[in-house]
Structure 1
């Protein structure tokens, strides 16, 4: 075991941060940290993705034969290959392990004994049934940080309920506010509830590791999907408690915040069909917008001169802005507002991102070689650290690709023993 203020060192002879594609040669800030990921699908694996991006060794434990269902998910699967799994499993190693067998549970204990962090997103009580609950694991490895992601948390009357990210979005309040007034709630086009939980799970792991510097002890990080969403719900709770007002769906605007909306514009052929988002709700910014529109007097009109006045008259001001934007190509609207110092943008697609010079300059899209699909582009690492930046070093691994390395080289199993474990359905 290492000292309380140091992570585990990488195996002897293994590169600290092997460069691949655009990855930096410098080690990440979590270099040497050992993480065991027992999660599947999204929330738990996103914790592992974030930690792996910054240099942690993430060993992903998957069921033999099928692996993480994410290997098969996705709307588009060229040549049968998921386009999602290589992203969420990047920078990870894959081992197979049947945690429902006692032999698998015993092997898991060996693996976790040398880890700094365990990430899991089973339903509460599952690890305990397998003899892998926090009490058991902390007796084995007192310094272990255990990140537990679930639908409703490890305590409370709902702890045993199943929960996906979509359920967390509903219970946490996001779905009720998403969509147009008077219409059914809608979802964001990504699995935002899972991603929020994963982000907070990684943050919780970092805080627990920091706490370990002084205590020398690990702890449990309890993340629920609904609480992860609830955390981001701004003033929804005090608005209801103190004013009796329940926030409702408001479409593309925030009530009382104006102008901050999407506005119609022309496409490259001079036809309606593009949209521009403009955020000019500050008094000074609105003055610059009015000037760019050729209507500087609007900034002094009592109906629009202050933030409060614009909030009361947001429909009228949005109509005036839309009458201006719809007469111009979207690119020209954005160019004029950029020159005026008014925040504005077209709606970016993946094509826009991959051809944008700012995305290129910032390294927002990184490309690594895929063994079947060739060049494989994906989003880069965020946040950006100047001295110890994160990197994308490898795409998601093949199922069980690292069994020999982890079970053989690290845990000392012979080739014959590994073959027997495979034959017995343990790995």
Structure 2
């Protein structure tokens, strides 16, 4: 890929769908990234002075631009609009008239103050779908409180169960709460697009971070309400799921071995040279193994320490036992599965040079997803996009003079 890549998707399943992204940071923009990967035209609205703060976030930058930004803003066009001005709000309403979807993650009430609510925008565009991502949702007593992803992760139950039982609650090493809200929001948007075929009408998709986290918490709630069981931190294991843990090898590596299913445990026992273990009443069933989780983990660890990691992987693969390394980026770049599926791609750009990043997922057999370009320069598409919706050169010059656009 290179900077000459067409600015519209040729194959994506959402080609022809226009998205107006008015959010910033992660929760809204990650949804925009997903929709762009699927082929939608994503027009990202940014403040003309500094743009989205994500342009500076992350641990590494190239020419002052964050590498995180190169991923999160890929496949998007950047339009600058000062939404605090009447002229900026007017331009946003004009853009929304031709949009299928608006994505925003401001604090609830912010768009209403600017005359950009779904009720307002849908008067001239009845089919408009608006995704509203927020910490606590658009209703309820917490709705207008500041709600970052970390707060949603805590309220949704995730933070309490992450980490070792000997330490305070931990966090996952990525912004998982924001990303989950974007994922659930994307599902809602796609469902609303499908429903629009029947009704001809758009609607609001309300994605709360804490609810999106809660939606991933499996049987956390009924285990408490029905049996009084509170899920606790359990480190690298899941309680009563055994053997399924990280195990040491002779060359100082750690492997994931997951053999908690009865048939798989039988295959592991054979690989361990101890097939009778699978018939021992103390280990023969899922429930029995769960009761003896710690001692079973010790047995598997004693076995795994006899092998170098690669040799143990080969042995367990021969016995069809799920096993895998704990990957770092360098492992991903050298792995044959990653290479065969192009899970990581190189994307060319003027600003960054070549950027290596994760590909677009999932894969579709006929209308595939793609990374077409990296995160754009601030405002690089402003004139092109506004010209398409009726602004001539004189109007654009006036907006520039007033600081509405960059």
Q: Deviations over 1:218-268 (max 9, x none)?
A: 00000000000000000000000000111111111111111111111133x
Which residue, 202, 209, 232 being the options, matches 2:216? 232
Q: Does 2:276 align with 1:301?
A: no
SS of the residue 2:237 aligns to: coil
Give the TM-score normalised by structure 1. Answer: 0.92
Residue 161 of structure 1 aligns with which residue?
145
| Equivalent of 1:389 in 365, 368, 377 | 368
- Are the aligned partners of 1:331 and 1:346 in contact in 2 as well (CA < 8 Å)? no
Contact 1:86 1:395 in 2 (8 A): yes
Q: What's the offset of the Cα at 1:373? A: 3.3
Question: Residue 20 of structure 2 corresponds to which residue in structure 1?
Answer: 36
> Residues of 2 paired with 1:254 and 1:350: CA distance?
26
Count of paired positions: 405
Structure 1 residues 270-325: Cα deviation after superposition (integer angstroms, max 9, x where no partner) = xxx31000110011100110111111111111110100000000101000000111
Tell me if 1:370 matches 2:349: yes
Instruction: Select which of 387, 394, 399 maps to 1:416.
Output: 394
Aligned to 2:261: 282
The structure 2 residue matched to 1:242, chosen from 219, 226, 233, is: 226
Query: What residue number does 1:143 align with?
Result: 127
Tell me, yes or no, if structure 1 residue 77 matches structure 2 residue 55.
Answer: no
* Aligned-partner SS, 1:332: helix
Distance 1:18 1:32, change over 3 A: farther
Partner of 1:191: 175
CA contact (8 A) 2:2 2:349 kept: no
Q: CA deviation at 1:169?
A: 0.5
Unaligned runs of 5+ in 1: 1-16, 268-272
Per-residue deviation, 1:18: 10
> More displaced, 276-285 or 23-32?
23-32
Contact 1:257 1:307 (8 Å CA) reproduced: yes
For residues 34 and 24 of structure 1, what CA distance do their matches in structure 2 show?
A: 10
* Aligned match of 2:71: 87
The equivalent position to 1:361 in structure 2, one of 340, 348, 353, is 340
In 2, the alpha carbon distance for the partners of 1:132 and 1:374 equals 38
- What's the offset of the Cα at 1:81? 2.5
User: What are the equivalent positions in structure 2 for 1:308-347 lying under 5 Å apart?
Assistant: 308-347=287-326
Q: Answer whether contact 1:18 1:25 (CA < 8 A) is retained.
A: no
| Shift of residue 366, structure 1, vs aligned partner | 1.1
> What is the Cα-based RMSD across aligned positions, in Å?
1.8
Query: Contact 1:255/1:311 (CA < 8 Å) preserved in 2?
Result: yes
Give me the whole-angstrom Cα distance separating, in 1, the residues matched to 2:391 and 2:120.
23
In structure 2, the residue matched to 1:251 is 235
Is 2:242–2:260's contact at 8 Å kept on the other side of the alignment? yes
Does the CA contact (< 8 Å) of 1:287 and 1:299 recur in 2? yes
Shift of 1:44: 0.3
Give the TM-score normalised by the residue count of structure 2.
0.97
> Does the CA contact (< 8 Å) of 1:48 and 1:58 recur in 2?
yes
**Corresponding position of 1:14:** none
In structure 2, the residue matched to 1:10 is none
